[in-house]
Structure 1
Amino acid sequence: MATIASVHTKTTGFSAASLLAPFRAVGRFMIMLAEASPQMRALNRLSQISDEELSAKGLTREGEVRRILGGAAAL
């Protein structure tokens, strides 16, 4: 003989995911802002250039990063 038991639990609609949702949204927004900055776009362009191309122009990757980031490169 088989017995089937059904358990019904009442939920309040509150979960950890709903508590964390605003923090995730703020985090995604901050990442979006950082990726949209002119410095980030310049660094992305720099990463697409080979070391050989840079040296042909008389530049170094480290020098270009310092130029792009300015004083922030010392951190």
Structure 2
Amino acid sequence: MAALRSVGRFFVLLAETNSRVKAIEHLNTLSDAQLAERGIKKREDIARHVFRDLFYV
């Protein structure tokens, strides 16, 4: 049963990561002004913004 739970967690992680990648791709299409409206001052902060609930940097 533990192996099945691990596989399930893997697929959840995979799905969450995919949505985060899509969010990063979307934010990269925005202008600098639009990013600033969302509180993102520099383009290099996009990934940090998307993953802010998982990592503290």
Higher relative contact order (CA 8 A, sep 6+): 2
Report which of the two structures shows the higher radius of gyration computed on alpha carbons.
Answer: 1
TM-score (normalizing by structure 1): 0.37
Q: Which has the higher helix share?
A: 2
